[in-house]
Amino acid sequence: MTVRTLPAMARRAEWGSRVALYLVYLAVALGVYAGAVPAEARENVFRPASPQNPLSPLPLSSTGTNSFFGAPGSVVGWGKQVVGLDLTKGFVSVAAGFWHGLGLKADGSIVAWGYNNVLQCAVPAPNTGFVAVAAAGHSLGLKADGSVVAWGWNDSGQCNVPVPNTGFVSVAAGGRHSLALKKDGSIVAWGRNDYGQCNVPAPNTGFVSVAAGYAHSLGLKANGSIVAWGSNYDYYENYCGQSNVPAPNTGFVSVSAGGWHSLGRKANGSLVAWGYNGDGECNVPAPNTGFVAVAGGAWHSLGLKTDGSAVGWGYNAVGRCNVPAPNTGFGGVAAGWAHSLGLKADGSVVAWGNSYYGQCNVPAPNTGLVSVAAGEVHSLGLKADGSVVAWGSNGDFHDNFCGQCVVPAPNTGFASIAAGEYHSLGLKANGAIVVWGSNSDGQCNMPTPNSGFVSIAAGYAHNLGLKADGSVVAWGKNDDGQCNVPAPNTGFASVAAGYAHSLGLKKNGSVVAWGDNTLGQCNVPAPNSGFVALAAGTWHSLGVKANGSAVAWGNNGDGQCKVPAPNSAFVSVAGGVWHSLGLKADGSVVGWGYNYHGQCNAPAPNKDFGSIAVQGNRCLAIRVTRPLASSTNWTLY
CATH architecture type of domain 85-353: 7 Propeller (2.130)
Identify which of 272, 307, 282 has the alpha carbon closest to the alpha carbon of residue 292. Answer: 307
Provide the pLDDT for residue 43. 25
Assigned CATH class of 32-80+362-636: mainly beta
Lowest mean pLDDT among 18-22, 91-95, 301-305: 18-22
pLDDT for 482 beyond 80: yes
Provide the pLDDT for residue 343. 97
Lowest mean pLDDT among 8-22, 38-52, 259-273, 388-402: 38-52
More confident residue, 634 or 373: 373
Report percent pLDDT > 90 for the chain.
84
3-state secondary structure 507-558: CCCCEEEEECCCCCCCCCCCCCCCEEEEEECCCEEEEEECCCCEEEEECCCC
Mean pLDDT of the chain: 88
In this structure, which amino acid lies at residue 110? I
Mean pLDDT, to the nearest integer, of 352-374? 93
pLDDT for 338 beyond 80: yes
Same fold, 32-80+362-636 and 85-353: yes
More confident residue, 30 or 560: 560
Q: Categorize the per-residue pLDDT at 50 as very low, low, confident or very high, splitting at 50, 70 and 90.
A: very low
pLDDT for 10 beyond 90: no
Provide the pLDDT for residue 476. 98
CA distances from 449 to 377, 453, 456, 465 (A): 30, 10, 15, 12
10 Å CB burial of residue 107 (0-12, 13-18, 19+) is exposed
In the chain, where the domains are located: 32-80+362-636, 85-353
Provide the pLDDT for residue 235. 86
Mean pLDDT, to the nearest integer, of 276-283? 98
The tens digit of pLDDT for each residue in 216-259 reads: 999 999 999 999 999 999 989 999 999 999 999 999 999 999 99
Provide the pLDDT for residue 626. 55
Lowest mean pLDDT among 185-189, 304-308, 592-596, 626-630: 626-630
Is 136 in contact with 98 (CB distance < 8 Å)? yes
The tens digit of pLDDT for each residue in 110-140 reads: 999 999 999 999 999 999 999 999 999 999 9
Provide the pLDDT for residue 464. 98
- In DSSP terms, 323 is beta-bridged to none
